[in-house]
Each structure stands twice: as structure tokens, then as C-alpha cells.
Structure 1
């Protein structure tokens, strides 16, 4: 089943964002493309992101070398300060160059899937307030559930599957304001090129003003991530060089970007590792073997470089000490790069990076085993 063009309006900002955290069951099954209220959801194969192609070894070697040598500079200048923290009882979520504060009890999760009516459907949406993980790569049953005929702008699934939530869209020139339907209220606010939509019920009505009132454009989000990074380039790039084995870091900002080019903000989500979590990841990065990987270049086309990238911003107290660029969703060019050495992704250095609004984009089975192992 193929989505119509009206469901692809967010492709330039948010294509290929992953739904890998539910990939524990990898048995072959019939898949279709799903959608939710204009949020694009496509299928990215876990075993190979594109059709496997037999390629000449010499060509592969040249491409891999280009990926490791890369283009400089990559992540750009590293700011020494974080963004503005959320007020007490709130947390900040960001997309592109827009940030919003939501109650800290709101979780991050997927909206209902297009196969909500399937017999024995395993996921019909959260049952508590949440921030939608947009443009997720989801596996759904090959079934066309009936259209609920809800008003434009509201989720397309039946009201019975709804929960209060917030989601981001690329602006399509619509009108901001408030609409009501079946006891639910939809509040829309557009800032720049991003539209924020907030669906609330009677229990969450008091949250609307403080959430919508917090919508703002930022140059650095609360996690310390910039809206645009040179790492968004479609080709492999390298960060300003430092040596990760010689530094200390008390926290790591994990910034996820779509690789659709650097012409517009591409931040998909962010979170911060602190304390033992940051120390353990840093130690794993420092101990990882040089050379990059895991790679299996025979599994994809030589011009396929992946669709997303992580920038890891290392900080020691308030001081930024360097950025690493992490590629993980191609079948070559994978690794964590400090601009001096490209190191292999390992279970301890890759798996802990994904969390909150930073989700693994899928990729070759070799990276699956170290970046999203079966729990």
C-alpha cells in the first residue's frame, strides 16, 4: 500500500526516522506503509536499507575510503553553552529549530498505526499523554483500516485510539487556532517552517496554555543541539579533529539529524547522557577498535550513504570538548568519528545512544546486533 502525496509533506525535514525500538520480533511478515495524520511513515528494511546489490570490490573500497576520509569540517563549531532549561515540572522537546515545553510526565511514543483495526493488532497507540515520535519507520500489517472521517488536522484514526499528545509537522501554510471535535481540542501554532499541533481532552485542558505558550525558535536546544549541522550532508563528513581517547566528559548531548542536506534545519530529536551513562559510553568509545564498522558493503548500492546521523557533543562541566559523528544505518561508512580516528560501533558505545526522541534508524543486520540488540 502506497501513501498519497498529501502524507509526504514532512519528507524534507523528517524522512527515515526510526521505529527500531520495537524490532525485537524480526520474523519475516507482510508489511505495508502506514501513516498518521500527515506524519510520514515508511518502511526501512532492517536487514538491508536498500535492495542488496552486487558491486565491484574496487568501487566499494573507493567509497568506503571516501566515507572515512570525508569532507571537513563536519559538525562545525561546538558551542560552550546549553540551551535554556525547561521550567520545573516541564521538559523540552525539539524538532528542527523549534522547541516546546511539555509536562515531564508526558512520554515519547508512537501515535496509533494505520493497522489499528487488524485482528490482534499489537499497538494501537499510547494510553497516556505523549509527544509523538514523528515520521517513524514502522512495521504494520497489510490491511487498509477504514477512514474515521475526522475533521482535517485531527488524527485520522478513531477517537477510541486517541490520547492527549503533541506532534510536529512541516508547515503547509494552514491557519493557527483552536478546533474542537468529540470532546477533544486541537490547538495549532506555527513558528517559521514548523507547525506544532496539540491534542487535548478535558483532563489535560489546563496544560494547553503553558505548552502552546512555550513554542519558540531556538539556536541551541535544551540538550545542547543546534537545529542544523554540517553532518546533515548527504555525503559522509568528518568533525573538527580531536582525540576522544584523551578527553574527559561528564555529559554527552546526543543530537539526531536527517541527512537531506544542510539547506534547512534537520534536527529530529535530542537527549543528554549524564553521570554513569555518559562515563560508560565515553569509555566504550575510547576503547573501541579503530577502523570503523561494522560494515558489510556488499549489501547495498555504493551510492547509498544512509539517511540519518548522530552528533555526540562531549562536555566536561560547562565546557564543550568536542563532537563525534556517528553513522550507523548504511552497510558501509559506519562508525564513530572524532575527526582523528573512525572507531567501530560496539554494543557498549552504540546501544545506549538511542532513547527518548532519538531512535535508531534501522540498517544492516551487522549494526542491528550492536546498536539495537534483542532485549
Structure 2
């Protein structure tokens, strides 16, 4: 293979279906905290379509995967039947319909793991990420990508630049999330940005804010080690250890320590923690923008009075939308974001259960865990 995972030598642009065999090993959540390996059917595509089949090479474990593992649901999405986990993936195209115009067998790709209906008003308006008919990997009732083979339309696969690895390709998904959050915040050059939560998404929000031109980027977390990484690698100019004081007092301390004057231009919550959300509202200047990116409790106490008094703009952010993956690939191609520094552990496919247990137990030092693909026999 070439360095980016493309298959070297002469290959047919389309076809490849006859070479896939009958085995599609998959990592399946059967019920809460009970996972098994199953041999699922190999996906099929119409030979005349513009769909592709990808052999998965790397998959990251996302917080939503762990939440389904532990609770069997996230909000209205409830696991009612066995479901393949995983959605942060990269791989190589092993079969392609004759209608494909942008991809060929052998191409290394990052997967955008949600396909909308393309017909509803949000889709027509370019807001396909909030399509009510979205078929999103590892979101009930749809299977995920922790398997050998997975299929998508070609326009939801993004060719990886030659110097980008499959590991980085798998992390295009969380980078796309961070880009969407930052675009929702409308970060512009010269802005001050406070990011609550220095997990993978929060760290990437810091990096994207830097790329968008923010001059003051404050990372807030309870772990000093993550704050150190935020400052060393991901563009944070200031770091603050989150405190247990009331939210207004915490906000005042952040403003003082980071020299934010009357408050920040933008606050992003990537933690989902109620105290961080409350502090994020109070840390903003009048006319500032707050974006909720992290998932926590569905209902919380929220300082709505501060929103009206300061005339804040408050937005949600859900996955990623039009142009986010394309921009993520561009950032990787231009080496503007260091995704490799997020990776703290790697597991073989057959060790996927242990990987989930380690993430679930909050094993010290873990930030982003990757699971390798099924090896060819």
C-alpha cells in the first residue's frame, strides 16, 4: 500500500464486488454493557449506482458510542435491536458502482457517517445535519462502522491526501464536529474564545478557533494534563482549571485570569456539564455568542436572564453540515491541525471490547482511542 493507504498498482476504477467474499466481522452491542463479535452479511451495492463499499481501516471511539454501551439510549434514540457500534472511521474503497465520478477502487477515504433524505426543507436549505430522516451510523436503528465492510454514497466519502494516514482520516469526523461548532459561533480574526472541556472536541475547537484567527483562546477543564496539551499543541493561549465555586464567580475568575476585559466574544461548551454551561453564559460580554456542542443532561438550570440582559446569541450545534468535512480535509492537507496528538491508545479489532471498557472506566491518560480494522485472511 501507499503511505496514505491507497492500493498501489493497476486497479479497475469500478467493480470489485466479486472479490469481497462472504465475511463481514462486526462489533455488535446486543444489550447494555454486552457486546459480541458477529459475522454480518457483506453489504451490497447496485453495479450501476454511485455507491461504494469501504473496507474499514481505523475507527475512533466516540462518547456517544460509550453512552449507548452504558445506557442503550441518547435522548430519543433508543437501541431496540442489536446494533453495530462506531462512526468515526476511515478506510479504502474496495468496490464502486459504475456511476461513481470522484472515487475509484483503491482510494483512501474518510467517512461522513450520516446520509440524509436530501428532500426535506432542512436538506434543501443546506441543513442536512438536522434532517429528521437522517440515517446515521451507530444511531438506532442504523448499524455503525466497527465492521470489515461498510457502504456509503460516494459524496459522503472524502479522499484523503497522500500524506494523511488512516488514523488521521478516522479523526476527520470529530474535527468536522469542531469545525461545525466554530462556524456556528462565527469566529472571526481577533475574537476571544473560551472553550469549556478539553476532551477531543474541546481541544479541536481550540485548534479550529486558532485557524479561524481568534487571538485569545482559553481552555477550561478539571484536568491539568489536558490543559497542558491544549496550550502546547492545540492553540490555547490561556488555560484555567475549572473550579467548584458558583458559575458567576468562576466566570469572573476566568475573565480576570485571561484578561478578557468585559467578557469573551465567544463561549463554547464541549463538556455537557451543567456548571460549565452556566459559566459559559456568564463569561460572555454583552452581545457575545454561546454555542452548545457537548452532550449532558437533557434538561438543566439555565441562566436565561443573563441571555436577555446581555442580548446574547445562543446556538446549538449538531454533528456537522455542508462544507465541514471539506474544510477538515483542507486543514489536514495544509497541516493546520495536529490530529495525531489526540491519539493516546490503539487497539486491534479483536480487542474492541477491552477498548470500550478502558474508555468507560476513564483509564488515566486516555483522550482518543482508535480501533484497527479487520485484517484480511
Query: What TM-score do you get using the length of structure 2 for normalisation?
Result: 0.30
Q: RCO higher in 1 or 2 (8 Å CA, sep ≥ 6)?
A: 1
Query: What TM-score do you get using the length of structure 1 for normalisation?
Result: 0.30
Of Structure 1 and Structure 2, which has the larger fraction of its residues in helix? 2
